[in-house]
Amino acid sequence: MTAAMVGWAHTPFGRLGDETVESLVTRVANDAMADAGVGPEDIDEIVLGHFNGGFSKQDFTASLVLQADDRLRFKPATRVENACATGSGAIRQALKSIASKDAKVVLVVGVEQMTTTPGPQIAENLLRAAYLKEESDIPAGFAGVFGKIAGNYFQRYGDQSDALAMIAAKNHKNGVKNPFAQMRKDLGFEFCRTESEKNPTVAGPLKRTDCSLVSDGAAATVITDIPTALGMKKAVAFRNMTHVQDFLPMSKRDIIRFEGCREAWSRALTAANITLDDLSFVETHDCFTIAELIEYEAMGLTKEGEGARAIHEGWTEVDGKLPVNVSGGLKAKGHPVGATGVSMHVVSAMQLAGEAGDMQLKSPELGGIFNMGGAAVANYVSILQPLKA
């Protein structure tokens, strides 16, 4: 272990029309520093996760974090982008700076403002995370990409509509207890399973309830080296963080295996010297319900083609053997692209620090996080644990 999270902050996710990228960034930056008990003068480096992709006219945004406090002036600040895994990419950059001793205290912020963009443009912006040379004509944008993945999965393993609806219902039920969640409503299995005017088919076998939400929001964390963290009021350490990048074109991969996700989990668990059974919970990237289903298999919870078993048998419920997306996941919490990876780390740290409020599990010891960009192209797995002196 070389680093730990020692403070964090999180805005509500949703339609935040009164906010801007700048106001969201400065708000969580100040709140995270205050939560960590550090001042701007203590920060050695700033890393901003911001996908943008056309959502914001202001495309040079790293220095917006300096707007939080004049004392941040002249601190090194860099923007990181890796599609929907942008936030985790920013956190990994912080860990690398700390490991190399270029920095001792790093402020990481993730942000996106999506809802001020017209619907068709949102779809176009998100599709830029696909391989446009081959995939630009897939209808319905990125929902179409995952609709195609779901269709291929169903063709190989049978209709999994019940399992997808159960995943959606689970995550929406969990989201009710998350004060940051965009949708805090228990929709129930029947609503998620049934095509209706309020829950129409979007792409392939995917309905609206199978798709994550278009969101605005930000999250931030202060990360320090272990000796510094040991002197802080709270600390959640990185037992490991692994990054695996796969081919961009889906045509070069067996897309329903999420091989990059599988490799990232295997490497992270091995490096942390644990097995999946040692984890108390997992926050995983449910941009679409089919993604969570395949991720059950890729993380090793079930065999290939048997992901539905995990949800049918209740393994991933809050009271199951491996709770998945206790926060409500992207499905209920929302998915402001650049903020998502940081958010996943923040809500996991809250669990391990005993600060998760109504979401709190009983005495969690190890948390796993999987955040991905594109269709399992950028794959990040983190293993977190409370740091004890």
3-class SS of residue 181 = coil
Q: Which long-range contacts (CB under 8 A, 24 or more apart) does 61-70 make?
A: 61/21, 61/25, 61/111, 64/21, 64/22, 64/25, 64/26, 65/25, 65/26, 65/29, 65/107, 65/109, 67/22, 67/25, 67/26, 68/25, 68/26, 68/29, 68/30, 68/33, 68/40, 69/29, 69/30, 69/40
* Lookup: tokens for 211: 């798709």
- How many residues are listed for the chain in this entry? 389
State whether residue 243 is helix, strand or coil.
Answer: strand
Q: Residues 10, 172, 335, 345: which is the catalytic one?
A: 335
- Active-site residue flag, 345: no
CA 234 – CA 259 distance, rounded (Å):
35
Helix axes 289-298, 161-175, angle to 10 degrees: 100
> Does 285 qualify as catalytic in the annotation?
no
Supply the DSSP string of 70-84, one letter for each residue.
GGGTT--EEEE-BTB
List 84, 211, 261, 287, catalytic entry: 84
Distance of CA 295 to the CA centre of its chain: 13
| HSE-CB of 263 using CA atoms within 13 angstroms | 12
> Known catalytic residues?
84, 335
